[in-house]
Amino acid sequence: MAITLYHNPRCSKSRQTLALLQEKGIEPEIREYLKDVPSAEEINEILTMLNMAPRDLMRKKEAEYKENGLDNPSLSNDELIAGMIANPKLIERPIVIKEGEARIGRPPESVLEIL
């Protein structure tokens, strides 16, 4: 049972989600997505698993969102995904993936739905 955690160690929700998984005896594969940025294909797969549009996976309150014009409603999904790749800080976190299912750990307990 492979479980991957898209993790930002500086994020409290990400740390809480990791601790919750470890409390359940799960040691996930940790993907520090700020250092190991997911590809467009990977982001598309995650969006499919989450049943979300690209903008739904973006942290819209981050300065980079507006600074890079990503708040423009006419941008295509591919352009939004390219914005996430160029600015991975904009990807909502943490994300837990298990066997083709994914959940965002906000709140951390929401990831328990797929375990």
CA–CA separation, 56 and 92 (whole Å): 9
Q: Is 35 a catalytic residue?
A: no
DSSP 38-79: PPHHHHHHHHHHHT--GGGGB-TTSHHHHHTTTT-TT--HHH
CA–CA separation, 48 and 57 (whole Å): 11
Q: Catalytic: which of 11, 26, 75, 114?
A: 11
CA–CA separation, 26 and 14 (whole Å): 15
Q: Which residues are catalytic?
A: 11
